[in-house]
Amino acid sequence: MKVIPRRFDEAIKAGYRLRPTLAEAVRITNKHFKGFNIAVLVRDLENLLKSYAKEPVEKEIYVSEPPPTLRIEYKSENCFNEKEGLYVSRTITHENDELVAYHEMLMLPESSRKQGLGKKIIAAFLEQYENMEVKRINLYAALSDGGAAWAKFGFKATKRSEMERILLIAEQSLGEKSKKLKVVRDTFNNYYEKEPDGKAFPIQNWVAIPGMETILKKADSHWHGCMDLTNSKDLLNFKHYVGQKR
């Protein structure tokens, strides 16, 4: 699908600032982000976020090269307020001739949480990732409840040192004699004995262990993760978990 100026015009009408210019946004998108339907994503985000964002709202689409980069941001004026702030930021860029998405920020007002809004936002972006043939999603699970939520989504943990830190927290929280701790340790050892430098630890197996969801929600249980969108099984599970965007 070729992007034409009027599709970006819909973003401008919705209050998005384009950088650097409309002409450059169209040119770079057509060259490097084929399949991206800006009009659909803008409508999705407006439908999902407008009633929750405290005015004034800052919206931006930034397109640049090199490297080819596309960033979409939607944030309220009080975006860093833990109870009322809203901030969504996603960047898609080229790495080693592949498109990779970075989930940089997903902060929602307290009043909108536990209603499935986060999943719908993820589903809206995932639709565009598939349109553009994005191969991988990278993220840093660091915000409130993020460590547990992204584990449930099926993201794999990429840094062993972070898993060692969370294992230590589990040891302190669950106690040495806990049968649950044995399962946590076995999951860790079974993976890293086979893959000492592995970058795809199945942290979703941890969040399923009673007591570990609470631990993964702790502020010091942050971790870096990745979703391989070329893995059909993981992608199907991810899509099933996030559900529909509407």
CA–CA separation, 205 and 154 (whole Å): 9
pLDDT band at 177 (very low <50, low <70, confident <90, very high): confident
Q: Is the pLDDT of residue 53 over 70?
A: yes
pLDDT over 90 percentage in the chain = 80
| Domain assignments of the chain as residue spans, ordered by start | 1-135, 140-228
What is residue 7's predicted lDDT score, i.e. its pLDDT?
84
Cβ contact 82:144 at 8 Å? yes
Query: With bands split at pLDDT 50, 70 and 90, how would you rate the model's confidence at 157?
Result: very high
For residues 184-200, give the mean pLDDT.
Answer: 97
**Please, what is the average pLDDT of the chain?**
93
Q: What distance in Å separates the CA atoms of residue 29 and residue 41, rounded to the nearest whole number?
A: 14
| Residue type for position 44 | D
Q: Residue 136's pLDDT is what?
A: 97
- Residue 123 is predicted with a pLDDT of 96
Q: Is the distance from CB of 85 to CB of 109 less than 8 angstroms?
A: yes
What would the mean pLDDT of 17-22 be, rounded to a whole number?
94
Residue 54, pLDDT > 90, answer no
Residues whose CB falls within 8 Å of the CB of residue 168, separated by 6 or more in sequence, listed in order: none
64 falls in which pLDDT band (50, 70, 90)? very high
